[in-house]
C-alpha cells in the first residue's frame, strides 16, 4: 500500500516546513538526503532496521520550530545517520561521513569536536546512540550544524567523568561544578538525574555554545526551578508556570522525564542559558490537547499560534484527535543564546500512536493525566 520511501516522506514534510520559515528548501532537502544515505530509499512499509531513539516510532529524524522574540522562526532537523547495515559502529562511520562532507562544504569548525570526540565515540557504544546531528535552517542564511554526543556511551556510571573531562578540555570545568551543585538532586547524579546529551555548535562565531542536558526522572516543577537557578536571572515562577501549562500540572512527571539543558560559554564561570523540555506527549490524551496547550503558551509569549497550526499541517494530514505524539516536546528557552519557545514534531514515518481515551464517566473527576501510561510499546526514552 505504501511505496513511499523514508526520504520521500521526510522530504515532503521538510519542504513544507522550509516554506513556513522562509528557508531555501532545495539545499535543505539535499542535506536530508545526505544525512539519511542509503537508508532513505527504504520503503516505509519495511520496519526500521535500527531502533533510533530520535523519535518514538524509530524514525531517525525529528523536526522542530523555534519561535523567537527577535525574528523569524527557525527550523531544525534532529537526525541520526545510519549505516547501510545499522549497528553502533556503522552508524558512527555514517555520522563521521556526514560530518566530513558538511565540514568541507560549509567550512565548519571542528575544533571543539576534535578536542572531545574520542571520549564519546567508542566502537561499542552503550546506551542509545553515538552521535546525533542537528541542522539549523533559517531564512537567508547558510545552515548551521550541531552534534550531540551521548554521555552514557561508555555506560551510565561513567557519564559524570566523561562529561567532566570533556568540559575540562573545553575550559568549562567551573561552569560544570555550578551546574552540578544546582541541577542535580542530592545523590541522584547518574541515577534519577541523568546526563543525556552533550552538544556542540560546529562554528566558531562568538555565539558558539556547548550545551549539556540533564534528564530528571520523576521530577516535579519545583526541581527544575532549582535546577535552573544555576543560571543567573532565570525567573523560577515563569519556568514553573511553563511546566504546568505544558505538562498539565506541577508533577511529579513520572512518565517520560523533564529535561533541562545548560548553555556554557568560555567567558563565564556558570552556565549562561537554561532550557526546559517538557515531553508533552506523555502527559496528554491526544495531539489536539497538546496543540491547545502549546498554542496557549505561544500566545502568552506573544507568538501567533497560527505558526503552530501551519507547522502541524506541514507534517501531517491526520486529525489531531486521532493520535498522540505528533507534538513530542515543547521547550522554553531562557537566557542565551536567545529566549523563546520551541515545538518538536514527530515525523510519524512509521507509526502514529493511538490516542489515550478521553472518556470518563459523567460524574467522575478527571483522570490524573500524569499517571496515564506511555504510548504503546517503547520503553522510556
Ligand atoms: N526521543 C528522545 C526523547 O524524547 C530524544 C529527543 C528527541 C529529545 N528530541 C528531544 C529529548 C527533545 C529532549 C528534547 O528523549
Task: For ligand 1, pick from 80, 148, 277, 325 the residue to mutate: most ligand atoms within 8 Å of CB.
Answer: 277
What pLDDT does residue 364 have? 59
Average pLDDT over residues 179-208: 94
Task: Output the CA torsion 358→359→363→367 (10° steps).
Answer: -40
Contact 180, 158 (CB under 8 A): no
Do 325 and 287 meet the contact criterion of CB atoms below 8 Å apart? yes
Provide, rounded to the nearest whole percent, the portion of the chain with pLDDT above 90: 85
Please tell me the predicted confidence (pLDDT) of residue 334.
93
> Measured in angstroms, how far is the CA atom of residue 56 from the centroid of ligand 1?
9
What is the per-residue pLDDT across 250-283, written as a single tens digit (0 to 9) for each? 999 999 999 999 999 988 889 999 999 999 999 9
Q: Ligand 1 pocket check: which of 129, 326, 329 to mutate, most ligand atoms within 8 Å of Cβ?
A: 329
Q: Which of the pair, 362 or 47, is modelled with greater confidence?
A: 47
Q: Which residues contact 69 (CB under 8 A, 6 or more apart)?
A: 301, 302, 338, 339, 340
Q: Is 322 in the pocket of ligand 1 (CB under 6 A)?
A: no
Taking the whole predicted model, whether its pTM rises above 0.85 is answered as yes
User: Given this model, what pLDDT does residue 198 score?
Assistant: 98
- pLDDT band with cut points at 50, 70 and 90 for residue 122: confident
C-alpha closest to that of 179 among 216, 127, 133: 216
Provide the pLDDT for residue 293.
98
277 lines ligand 1 (CB under 6 A): yes
Separation of CA 215 and ligand 1 centre (Å): 10
Q: Which residues contact 228 (CB under 8 A, 6 or more apart)?
A: 182, 234, 236, 239, 260, 274, 276, 334
Predicted confidence (pLDDT) per residue in 91-102, tens digit: 999 999 999 999
What pLDDT was estimated at residue 339? 85
User: pLDDT band at residue 369, thresholds of 50, 70 and 90?
Assistant: low
Contact 221, 244 (CB under 8 A): yes
283 Cα distance to chain centroid: 17
Residue 373 has pLDDT above 50, yes or no: no
pLDDT tens track for 294-332: 999 999 999 999 999 999 999 999 999 999 999 999 999
Residue ID of nearest Cα to ligand 1 atom 14: 277
Say yes or no to pLDDT of 380 above 50.
no
* Mean pLDDT (whole number) for 119-132: 90
pLDDT value at residue 177: 93
Residue ranges covered by each domain of the chain? 6-377
Any ligand 1 atom below 6 A from CB of 214: no
| Average of per-residue pLDDT across 38-62 | 96
Q: Tell me the three cell numbers of residue 35.
A: 544525512
pLDDT tens digits along 333-361: 998 777 899 999 999 999 999 999 887 65
Amino acid at each position: 500500500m505504501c511505496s513511499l520511501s523514508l526520504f520521500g516522506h521526510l522530504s515532503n514534510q521538510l519542504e513544507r516546513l522550509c516554506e513556513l520559515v522562509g528557508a531555501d528548501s532545495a539545499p535543505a532537502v539535499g542535506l536530508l538526503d545526505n544525512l539519511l544515505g542509503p537508508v532513505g530509499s527504504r520503503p516505509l512499509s519495511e520496519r526500521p532496521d535500527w531502533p533510533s531513539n530520535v523519535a518514538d516510532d524509530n524514525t531517525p529524524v525529528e523536526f522542530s520550530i523555534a519561535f523567537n522574540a527577535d525574528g523569524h522562526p527557525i527550523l531544525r532537523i534532529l537526525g541520526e545517520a545510519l549505516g547501510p547495515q545499522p549497528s553502533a559502529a556503522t552508524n558512527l562511520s555514517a555520522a563521521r561521513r556526514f560530518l566530513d562532507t558538511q565540514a568541507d562544504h560549509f567550512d565548519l569548525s571542528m575544533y571543539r569536536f576534535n578536542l572531545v570526540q574520542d571520549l564519546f565515540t567508542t566502537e561499542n557504544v552503550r546506551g542509545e546512540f553515538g552521535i546525533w546531528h542537528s541542522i539549523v535552517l533559517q531564512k537567508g542564511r547558510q545552515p548551521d550544524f550541531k552534534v550531540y554526543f551521548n554521555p552514557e556511551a561508555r555506560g551510565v556510571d561513567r557519564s559524570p567523568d566523561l562529561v567532566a573531562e570533556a568540559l575540562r578540555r573545553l575550559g568549562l570545568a567551573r561552569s560544570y561544578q555550578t551546574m552540578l551543585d544546582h541541577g542535580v538532586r542530592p545523590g541522584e547524579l547518574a541515577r534519577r538525574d541523568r546526563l543525556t546529551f552533550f552538544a556542540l555548535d560546529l562554528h566558531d562565531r562568538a555565539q558558539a555554545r556547548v550545551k549539556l542536558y540533564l534528564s530528571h526522572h520523576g521530577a516535579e516543577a519545583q526541581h527544575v526551578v532549582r535546577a535552573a537557578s544555576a543560571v543567573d536571572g532565570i525567573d523560577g515562577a515563569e519556568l514553573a508556570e511553563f511546566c504546568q501549562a505544558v505538562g498539565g500540572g506541577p508533577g511529579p512527571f513520572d512518565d517520560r522525564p523533564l529535561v533541562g539543558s545548560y548553555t556554557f560559554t568560555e567567558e563565564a564561570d556558570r552556565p549562561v542559558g537554561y532550557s526546559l523540555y517538557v515531553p508533552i506527549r506523555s502527559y496528554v490524551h491526544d495531539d489536539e490537547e497538546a496543540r491547545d496547550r502549546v498554542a496557549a503558551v505561544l500566545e502568552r509569549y506573544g507568538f501567533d499560534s497560527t505558526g503552530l497550526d501551519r507547522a502541524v499541517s506541514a507534517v501531517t494530514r491526520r486529525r489531531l484527535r486521532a493520535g498522540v505524539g505528533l507534538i513530542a516536546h515543547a521547550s522554553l528557552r531562557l537566557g542565551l543564546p536567545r529566549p523563546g519557545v520551541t515545538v518538536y514534531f514527530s515525523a510519524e514515518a512509521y507509526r502514529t500512536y493511538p490516542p489515550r481515551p478521553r472518556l470518563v464517566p459523567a460524574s467522575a473527576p478527571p483522570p490524573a493525566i500524569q499517571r496515564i501510561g506511555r504510548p504503546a510499546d517503547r520503553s522510556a526514552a
